[in-house]
Structure 1
Amino acid sequence: MGEIRTRSDCYSQGVPRPIDQAKRETLLRDIRTYISDNGLADLSLRPLAAALGTSDRMLIHYFGTKDNLLAQALADQKPAFHLIFDNVDSRPALQSSLRTLWQSMTSGEDVQSVRILLQAMGIACTGPGRFTAYVTTMFDTLTDALTHAIQRCGSAPEHARIEATVLAATFRGLLFDRLITDDEDRTSAAVERLIHNHAG
């Protein structure tokens, strides 16, 4: 009679356990919070695992490598810019949407995404690397959304792209300022000036 092999026997011989997708999503959420609070530059699996109440071996089981873990964590850190700007078709609506974006990025649901993006930007500035594609995609996503909105407000495509670039780049600079200095009054006043001068 042949030997009966159990499910446990299979795993003990190197067959990987199936991924618990709900657990994986929970881990990704907690990883993003950890990155937002502790930074990207010196991220190490062992301290990350300890903070999450798990092991570095378990993180490898779910994500394979540290770089893959980071790639998957960052993939979901993309604010839904199209939801803010897709219905904009007038300058007053554009100004209102820019104020909504600033509020969301400084005190709303996109604060965590902004903290992670700004950290990735700082690292990407040192040279091409694993965060360059993520940062470039984030830049393009906001600039594209603004470009289409500004075109619907009546600007020619070539002018709309430049206007969008000025708005997006200045927003990022002011977000850096706000995150570092925590000066709400000054940075918010600067955003109002930006909106008045470039979106009015």
Structure 2
Amino acid sequence: MDRDDLLDRISDHVLAHGLIGLSLRPVAAAVGTSDRMLIYHFTSRDALVSAVVARTSERAVAQVEALPGAASVRSGVNRLWAAYQTQPLSRCLDVYCQAAATGLIGREPYLSDARASNAAWAAALRDYFMRCGASPRRVGRIVTLVDSALYGFHLDLTTDRPTELARGVDDLALAAQAIAG
């Protein structure tokens, strides 16, 4: 099994079981290898976790890139929110949130990978909102507002009612549409 295949298997495992508490021996057993092979391919647990967060972020970006444009920025925000609640995007976002919640994103070796993932994510959102009619001049503001807010709404799914969150997302969508002009 090469490094790429191994990373995909481990990423699938993390998507199914979560990132918090990830240990080398149990994950190695779950994907059919040894902890020594994980160290051989990734050098450390930190490097492995960083690679998994980057891989799941790549998968999330691919989901956004595959979204068709909407008739307006407002409907685009609502469509994006619907996508946040479906698989595999929802689980990919969960992995990033778990990494952030455990303090991994703000320090190396995660910081560099997180910055690269964030840049790719923002580019995918920019392209998506431009497909929804946002102007190149204003799309950056829309991405900043919507990205931060939807992550918060995504975290709130565990405690709040989806219908209440949908109303809040539509309020966000109205604000994004106002920015779009």
Smaller-chain TM-score bracket: 0.7 to 0.9
Q: In 1, Cα distance between the equivalents of 2:38 and 2:88? A: 26
Task: Give the secondary-structure state (helix, strand or coil) at the position aligned to 1:172.
Answer: helix
Structure 1 segments unaligned to the other structure (5+ residues): 1-19
RMSD between aligned residues: 3.1
Higher relative contact order (CA 8 A, sep 6+): 2
CA contact (8 A) 1:39 1:116 kept: yes
Q: In 1, Cα distance between the equivalents of 2:98 and 2:114? A: 10
Aligned residue number for residue 167 of structure 2: 189
Q: In 2, Cα distance between the equivalents of 1:52 and 1:149? A: 35
Task: Give the secondary-structure state (helix, strand or coil) at the position aligned to 1:54.
Answer: coil
CA deviations over 1:83-108 (Å, ceiling 9, x no partner): 337xx4xx734334333322222123
Deviation at 1:71, TM superposition (A): 3.2
- Measured at CA, do residues 129 and 68 of structure 1 come closer, stay the same or move farther in structure 2, by a change above 3 Å? closer
Aligned residue number for residue 56 of structure 1: 35
Aligned residue number for residue 177 of structure 2: 199
Deviation at 1:171, TM superposition (A): 0.8
The alignment's TM-score, normalised by the length of structure 1, stands at 0.68
Percent of aligned pairs with the same residue? 25
Q: In 2, Cα distance between the equivalents of 1:182 and 1:131? A: 30
Task: Give the secondary-structure state (helix, strand or coil) at the position aligned to 2:108.
Answer: coil
Task: Give the secondary-structure state (helix, strand or coil) at the position aligned to 1:107.
Answer: coil
Paired residue type of 1:106: Q
Structure number with bigger Rg: 1
Aligned residue number for residue 6 of structure 1: none
Deviation at 1:196, TM superposition (A): 2.5
> 1:94 aligned to 2:77?
no
Deviation at 1:172, TM superposition (A): 0.9
Paired residue type of 1:184: P
> 1:170 aligned to 2:149?
yes
Deviation at 1:41, TM superposition (A): 4.3
Q: In 2, Cα distance between the equivalents of 1:98 and 1:82? A: 14
> 1:141 aligned to 2:141?
no
CA contact (8 A) 1:95 1:199 kept: yes
Q: In 2, Cα distance between the equivalents of 1:59 and 1:160? A: 41
Q: In 2, Cα distance between the equivalents of 1:43 and 1:138? A: 21
Paired residue type of 1:164: V
CA contact (8 A) 1:46 1:55 kept: yes
> 1:84 aligned to 2:67?
yes
CA contact (8 A) 2:126 2:143 kept: yes
Aligned length: 173
